[in-house]
Amino acid sequence: MRAITDGRLETGHRLPEGYKLKARLIRGEVALGSWIQLAHPANAEIMAAAGFDWLTVDLEHSVITIREAEELIRIISLSGVVPLVRVPSNDAVQIKRVMDAGAAGVIVPMVNTPEEAERAVAAVRYPPQGSRGVGLARAQGYGARFQEYCEWLARESLVIVQIEHIEAVRNLDGILSVKGVDGFMVGPYDLSGSLGISGQFTHREMRRALAEIRRVAAQHPRVASGFHVVPPKPELVTQKIREGYRFIAYSTDMIFLGESCRSGVQAIRSRLGRTAGQPAERRK
């Protein structure tokens, strides 16, 4: 096996960028990322240039196809950012396809039990650590670098489980005890929905669930605590960091675009309203 130095093989082939993210999470550093729900390649390029540590291609709540996902993964990776994929479900075939496309890891939605966490880990890893079927695609250098990929996969691939149901909160200790789970991410909307209080993030039951998540997570310091801060408000991100979360998803491309458009239009219309009655020379 050829040596790996600083994430590169002696051949000069660059490994998937996940090795950087995994090492940072193990050290307890904050890693800031975001969500991509719009499939245009320029969108991924713009997001990658913004300074995020990682970007997730969202296949659960978007119309992005597997073909488009591969292109987005390629752009993110070539930009030096860690490419992750939020798969539509905890399905071994879906996980296999995005990993073969070159994802550094997966974010798996609605993982509610330790058995479901084990299934997600197994779908990412080759035997004997897992059950993923072996193929030769972009991730394996189209067949030229299969052995190197096997070594990288066993040590550096990332499995992030989403905690977004009250059942998952009740089973959190078992879920975070599963070998191969590198981190979790709280999905606040679905978690509140499972409590019958959709979107009510300050409700007593929601606060109680989040407190329990923080309590259990503190007992598993090698598993990164994550949270998806959906509103594009930096102060909410810093609040979550103060609460101990270090794998932070900051909003989504779609929300960034919508918020920027709305705030700009509102500011312009507000200014027009204030100046409508002024003489032209005073409006200059």
Strand partners, 225: 184
Q: Catalytic residue among 61, 165, 203, 228, which?
A: 61
As given in the structure block, the two tokens for residue 56 are: 């997730």
Q: Is 92 exposed, middle or buried (0-12, 13-18, 19+ CB in 10 A)?
A: middle
Q: Going along 16-103, which residue ranges are E strands?
A: 31-36, 54-58, 82-86
Q: CA geometry: angle at 279 spanning 273 and 281, to 5°?
A: 115
| Residue with token string 């989040």 | 210
Q: Residue 228 and residue 161: Cα distance in Å, rounded?
A: 12
Alpha-carbon separation of residue 84 from 16, 92, 143, 195 (angstroms) = 10, 16, 22, 28
In this structure, the number of other CB atoms found within 10 A of the CB of residue 118 comes to 18
Strand 158-163 and strand 247-252: the pairing is unpaired
Instruction: For residue 6, report the phi and psi dihedrals to the nearest 5 degrees.
Output: 55, 40
Radius of gyration for the alpha carbons in the chain, expressed in angstroms and rounded = 21
DSSP assignment of 98-132 equals HHHTT-SEEEES---SHHHHHHHHHHHSPTTT--P
Is 61 catalytic? The answer is: yes
Q: Catalytic residue numbers?
A: 61
